[in-house]
Chain A
Amino acid sequence: GQNIDQPTEMTATEGAIVQINCTYQTSGFNGLFWYQQHAGEAPTFLSYNVLDGLEEKGRFSSFLSRSKGYSYLLLKELQMKDSASYLCAVRDGGGNKLTFGTGTQLKVEL
């Protein structure tokens, strides 16, 4: 089975940087995804890591350490519209079954 942990809530200030952590335990790791979900909307893809290291995409970056079972999502230059839930999801094995964490609700304040 899999166990994925994320903080439940975080609060940050507009313009600042925030790091959302995700730890996981899995029997057959084959990639980690980050999704963003605004209230009442569908999850949308942010990033994918399968090898160790940092993947950068504009204001968002995602890091993975497979040996530590750890990932983080880094959001820079926070904007009010970044207030959303951020979901960490792990793919186990060769198929495309994703197991999601419970999500981190990020609130960006002025």
Chain B
Amino acid sequence: DTAVSQTPKYLVTQMGNDKSIKCEQNLGHDTMYWYKQDSKKFLKIMFSYNNKELIINETVPNRFSPKSPDKAHLNLHINSLELGDSAVYFCASSQDSSGGWLEQYFGPGTRLTVT
């Protein structure tokens, strides 16, 4: 059974295009996240939603727009793609955002290549 799933796994597109990445979790968790991992393997938080409400919004270009239709889904839409957006994007989820021993479960990642 897949806990956190992402589609697509690979995405190759040209500069200037708009694309979306979808994420779903079947763990019953309240909080979901988007991370970006660059070519140097540095993993950085982008956004977090708790029960469909945005709670973390790091310094990310406004070309990136997360959307959470329900607490099991968190999608990431990227407008006007740039070369620097090429990275692996990971979705993650955790029980909630209030602290405590809250392990985050990661999806398999989406490798985005912008040409």
- A residues lining the B interface (CB < 8 Å): 30-31, 33, 37, 41-45, 48, 50, 85, 87, 91, 94-100, 102-103, 105
Contact = CB atoms under 8 A, between A and B. Distances in A.
A42 B4 CA distance: 10
Interface in B28-77: 31, 40-45, 48, 55-56
A87 B35 CA distance: 14
A32 B74 CA distance: 25
Contacts of A98: 45, 104
B107 A42 contact: yes
A102 B98 contact: no
B106 A48 contact: no
B42 A100 contact: yes
A99 B44 CA distance: 7
A46 B55 CA distance: 25
